[in-house]
Amino acid sequence: MKSPLKSEWTTAMIEELKELEENGVWTVEVPPVGSHCGNEQLYGIDYNLTFAAVTELSTVKVILVFARRWCVPARHGVIPNAYVKAEKEQHLEIYLAIPKGMIVPEEVLRACGVSSYKKLALRLKKSLYGLKQAGRLWSQLLHTKLVELGFTRCITDMCLYYTRDGNDMTIVGVFVDDLLVTASTPGLVEDFFVAMNILSIKDLGKVSKLLGMRVHLDETDGYSLDQQAAIEELLEQFGLVGANGVKTPIGEEFNDAELQDLQLLPSVGTHGEPTIRGFQSLVGSLLWVARCTRPDISFAVHKATRHTHQPRMSDWKVAKRMARYLEATKTLKLRMDVGVADGRCIRVESWSDADFAADKGDWKSVTGGVVTMDGAIVHWVCKKQTGVSLSTMEAEFTSASHVGRELLRLRAGARAALAVSQPMLMHMDNQSAWQHGDRQARRHPDQVHQ
């Protein structure tokens, strides 16, 4: 190993192998003749289903809203070596080649009747990360344990669990092996972590960092989120540290009608030159930042991702400008200041808008919208509509319909913990849409957009 971090890598590998052996993940055996390694599994023969859900980013924000309402700080728990806690599928026999660096004791070699570890293999007894079905097996195990503790899975988010007993309520969000927990009383949170010791959960205390987001809690202003570290890493990766900042993520010079530099990016290039893969990597990083904490760049990201497979030099300039904007605003935080709580009621609202026929190439409109809970933004969207709207009113209805579906999903999640008696509010800014929606004979919006 030639890495300058050789000693750290070696220590980590030794500790990982020790953990796996202590968990009884495998046994060292002579593999049967004709056996294949686990990475040679075939779909439909060695495995079928691999799906494992992760929680929606909006659900994370919903949990923080409830934590603020209850004045019980959300706690962060992590389950170490999660995948290896799940049993493998009993009907499968999976063998792994012994990895370099793993020492096989002489007594094991003698017991197996071989002279070299290369003639041996690891026969899996439990699941292991890297296997195609490992994520699903872990998800099933965690679901089983939570159900045994009395939790119910939310019908609109497979990774949101809740339990309710009168006025006592606990909410858990799951992102693989990360758990975000809050409850109506601090004691219920403590009870949850004690009960989850069956999976050796590690309590990290009040959530301060989750999914690359820093979580700040102020007793007066509530929760706020930022991704300063992720933005700085992005800027360093693409050589934009110290770049001249700009005040807006996108400018008038990047309108579709004025995009003059239509030269396609090359698939390969010298260091520092834009390439297709470099553009895709940059836009992917920007998209993650936009989805997590920065709704202010959502429209610009939407513009840049229209030509991901065949990006042009003009698209690269759009993405680079966004990075420069983040350089100037990397310390901004998304505030989630919750309004005054009204007992067991919660206020869920949406705001939607549409840019009619915004794309001059296919004349499709663009949807934009946000959803709030008790005044805190928990979801936002900016995307091109799938069909061509024939009027501004229709584009507005399409936008409201899209945002309204998310409104219904979040409301259903909120009802898992609170009785939502307040009507949902949908805000639109188009007079013709308002008037048409109030008319008795409104078959078009009833049939198409509801």
Q: How far apart are CA 269 and CA 316, in angstroms?
A: 14
171 DSSP β-pair partners: 162, 182
Angle between helices 228-237 and 313-329 (to 10 degrees): 140
Q: Average of pLDDT values for 14-21? A: 84
More confident residue, 42 or 137: 137
Report the candidate in 145, 142, 103 with the shortest Cα–Cα distance to residue 120. 103
**What band does 188 get if pLDDT is binned at 50, 70 and 90?**
very high
Asked if 62 and 167 touch (Cβ cutoff 8 Å), the reply is: no
| Residue boundaries of the structural domains of the chain | 6-218, 228-329, 338-448
Query: What's residue 45's pLDDT?
Result: 66
DSSP designation for 157: E
Question: Which helix (H) or strand (E) covers residue 67, if one does?
Answer: helix 57-70
43 DSSP β-pair partners: 47
More confident residue, 99 or 440: 99
Does the pLDDT of residue 36 top 80, yes or no? no
| Cα 169–chain centre separation | 25
What is the tens place of the pLDDT at every residue in 73-96?
Answer: 999 999 988 998 988 887 778 888
Q: How far apart are CA 169 and CA 184, in angstroms?
A: 5
Does the pLDDT of residue 227 top 90, yes or no? yes
Query: What's residue 418's pLDDT?
Result: 64
- Mean of the per-residue pLDDT values for the chain? 85
Q: How far apart are CA 389 and CA 364, in angstroms?
A: 7
Q: How far apart are CA 22 and CA 179, in angstroms?
A: 24
CATH superfamily of 338-448: Ribonuclease H-like superfamily/Ribonuclease H (3.30.420.10)
Query: What's residue 148's pLDDT?
Result: 96
| Cα 177–chain centre separation | 13
Query: What's residue 301's pLDDT?
Result: 92
Residue whose structure tokens are 């901004």: 332
Amino acid at site 34: G
Does the pLDDT of residue 7 top 70, yes or no? yes
Sign of the alpha-carbon dihedral angle for 11, 12, 18, 19: positive
**What band does 258 get if pLDDT is binned at 50, 70 and 90?**
very low
pTM of the model: 0.87
Output the six-digit token pair for 54: 């992760």
Query: What's residue 287's pLDDT?
Result: 95
Phi-psi region of 125 (alpha: psi -120 to 50; beta: other; left: phi over 0): alpha
Query: What's residue 1's pLDDT?
Result: 67
What is the tens place of the pLDDT at every residue in 388-444?
Answer: 988 989 999 889 888 989 888 888 777 766 655 577 888 888 777 777 766 554 555
Which segment of 47-51, 186-190, 246-250 scores lowest on mean pLDDT? 47-51
Output the six-digit token pair for 294: 């920065």
Does the pLDDT of residue 247 top 50, yes or no? yes
Does the pLDDT of residue 257 top 50, yes or no? no
HSE (CB half, 13 Å, CA atoms) of 185? 8
